[in-house]
């Protein structure tokens, strides 16, 4: 852990340089209950039902977050909130 609470991950690049990829804990609240087919698009996330919504929770770096948001859009889902912890 760093002083700002972010997890640091070393990504090895072919020219032997290292790039720090900060990972944060995200939760995305999606309107409605997602079925198994929709949930299969979010393998990096854990799903929890909360009332009439689905909460997707996972530790993601920035590119993974954008990938999750792209899947939400591609599936036509209605995101209500995105939290970073």
Once rounded to an integer, what is the mean pLDDT over residues 72-76?
A: 97
Length reported for the chain: 85
- Domain regions of the chain by residue span: 24-84
The span from the CA of 34 to the CA of 47, in Å, is 9
pLDDT in the model for residue 45: 96
Per CATH, the architecture of 24-84 is what?
2-Layer Sandwich (3.30)
The span from the CA of 13 to the CA of 23, in Å, is 18
Could you read off the pLDDT of 32-52 as tens digits, one per residue?
A: 999 999 999 999 999 999 999
pLDDT in the model for residue 20: 57
Alpha carbons within 13 A on the beta-carbon side of 28 = 28
Q: How far is CA 9 from the centre of its chain?
A: 16
pLDDT at 7 over 80: no
pLDDT in the model for residue 21: 75
pTM for the full predicted model: 0.74
């Amino acid at each position: 852990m760093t002083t700002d609470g972010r997890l640091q991950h070393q990504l090895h690049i072919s020219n032997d340089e290292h790039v720090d990829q900060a990972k944060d804990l995200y939760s995305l609240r999606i309107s409605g209950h997602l079925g198994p087919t929709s949930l299969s698009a979010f393998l990096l996330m854990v799903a929890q039902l909360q009332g009439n919504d689905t909460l997707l929770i996972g530790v993601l770096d920035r590119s993974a977050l954008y990938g999750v948001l792209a899947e939400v859009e591609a599936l036509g889902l209605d995101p209500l909130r995105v939290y970073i912890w």
